[in-house]
Amino acid sequence: MVLTLSDLPLDTATFAQDAQASGISSLGLNAKAFLFQLTTFMIVFLLLRKFVFSKLTATLEKRRGVLENSLVQAREIEKALQDAEAKAAKLLREARHEADTALTDARAQAQGLVSAAEEVGSQKVQRLLAEAEAQIRQKELKLRQELQVELTDLVAGATEKIIGQKLDKTSDEALIESAIKEVTK
Amino acid sequence: MNHISRRQLSRYAVERLLADHKISELSKELAAVLVGSNRNKEVDMLVEDIVRELEVRRQLVNAVVITVHPLTPLLRKQLNDALRKATAARHIELDERVDKSILGGLQVKTATRRWDSTARRKLTDLRKRF
């Protein structure tokens, strides 16, 4: 069975009377007290607004400004840091490049020095060899000359002995006769 | 006092000799000149100069002959003739000497010339040639 409003056993007049009689009071509020509290609230609010809120707002504003500045500075610092990092990276790249270049140059220079030293060494060796060869040739020549002199002395000595032994009076006379012929020439 | 050179003296002596002056007198004159000019030590050199002058004038050749063995008469004659022919001198004197060191052959020295055909000389030439 479906109940309707009219089925409810309510007395509408009573209900209206109760509603009019109670009003805000029915909510448990006292109008006077409410007004008083509202006034007090307003006064307190105005006082706070005048003496507290402005300073508080200023302080907050100041804090906000500080924070914003800090943020700006932080951003600037971050940007500077990024710039510095980029600059450092660039410097590092340049340094590496320069180091590579210097290393390459140094290697090339070292190779050049080694080649030059080898060349000088080779020339020195060639010169020493030539000098040694010349000295050997000179010594050989000197030895040959000494040997020739000794050989000549030996031959002459031997010839002298042989002549002394073999040249008898008859042979000597023949020699003298030949020498006398030389006188008339 | 004018200074007389040794050459002048030798020429004077040769001329006097060729003029048949006495040798003893000539010797005294020469000695007097040398002593007077305080040249006593030049006597030997003066004699050499006189011999040279005689050879130059083809009057006398004094030849020193060195051999290993003494010369035979035949060789001596041959040498005398050869020297006479070579120098055209009127007189030849041989001063013969024996020296074993020349090994063999003959060496002849006069005042102006020298012939050396010794075995020693030939060996020396051979050694120099080497």
Residues 9-28 of B with CB under 8 A from A: none
Using a CB–CB cut-off of 8 Å, the residues of A that contact B are 148-149, 151-153, 155-156, 159-160, 163-164, 167, 169, 171-173, 175-184
Amino acid in the structure at residue B96: E
A176·B115 Cβ contact <8 A = no
A160·B86 Cβ contact <8 A = no
B71-115 pLDDT tens trace: 999 999 999 999 999 999 999 999 999 998 898 899 999 999 999
C-beta of residue A43 within 8 angstroms of C-beta of residue A35: no
Give CA angle at B121 (B118, B125), nearest 5°: 145
Sheet holding B114-118, edge to edge: B91-98, B60-67, B105-109, B114-118
Q: To the nearest whole angstrom, how far is the Cα of B80 from the nearest Cα of chain A?
A: 9
Q: Give contacts of A176 with chain B, Cβ < 8 Å.
A: 67, 71, 75, 105-106
The two tokens of residue A125 are 């060796």
A172·B104 Cβ contact <8 A = yes
Q: Give contacts of A164 with chain B, Cβ < 8 Å.
A: 100, 103
Q: Which residue in chain A is spatially nearest to B124 when comparing CA positions?
A: A156
Binned at pLDDT 50, 70 and 90, residue A132 comes out as very high
Q: Is the per-residue pLDDT at B20 higher than 80?
A: yes
Which residue bears the tokens 């000295």?
Answer: A135
Average pLDDT of chain A is 82
Contacts of B49 (CB under 8 A, 6+ apart): B6, B7, B9, B10
Among residues B111, B114, B122, the alpha carbon closest in space to that of B45 is found at: B111
A77-124 pLDDT tens trace: 888 888 888 888 888 899 899 989 988 999 998 898 999 989 999 999
Residue B54's CB is within 10 A of a number of other CB atoms, namely: 22
Task: State pTM to two decimals.
Answer: 0.52
Sign of CA dihedral A124, A126, A132, A138: negative
B26-58 pLDDT tens trace: 899 999 998 988 888 888 899 999 999 999 999
Sign of CA dihedral A110, A112, A118, A120: negative
**Measured distance CA(B29)–CA(B9) in Å, rounded:** 10
| Contact status of B115 with chain A (Cβ, < 8 Å) | yes
Angle at which helix B6-18 crosses helix B43-56, to 10 degrees, equals 60
C-beta of residue B10 within 8 angstroms of C-beta of residue B43: no
Distances (CA, A) of B14 to A92, A163, B83: 120, 44, 21
Q: Is the per-residue pLDDT at A49 higher than 80?
A: yes
pLDDT of residue B96: 95
Q: Which residue in chain B is spatially nearest to A149 when comparing CA positions?
A: B130
Share of chain A above pLDDT 70, in %: 85
Half-sphere exposure (Cβ direction) of A77: Cα atoms closer than 13 Å: 6
C-beta of residue B42 within 8 angstroms of C-beta of residue B9: no
B117·A179 Cβ contact <8 A = yes
| Contact status of B117 with chain A (Cβ, < 8 Å) | yes
3-state class percentages of chain A: helix first, strand second, coil last, to nearest 5:
90, 0, 10
Domain definitions of chain A by residue range: 30-167
pLDDT of residue A41: 92
Residue B110's CB is within 10 A of a number of other CB atoms, namely: 23
Binned at pLDDT 50, 70 and 90, residue A166 comes out as confident
pLDDT of residue B61: 93
**Measured distance CA(B92)–CA(B60) in Å, rounded:** 6
- How far the first Cα of chain A sits from its last, in Å, is 196
Share of chain A above pLDDT 90, in %: 18
Half-sphere exposure (Cβ direction) of A105: Cα atoms closer than 13 Å: 6
Q: Which residue in chain A is spatially nearest to B107 when comparing CA positions?
A: A179
**Measured distance CA(B95)–CA(B61) in Å, rounded:** 10
Contacts of B87 (CB under 8 A, 6+ apart): B55, B58, B61, B110, B113
The two tokens of residue A66 are 């500080």
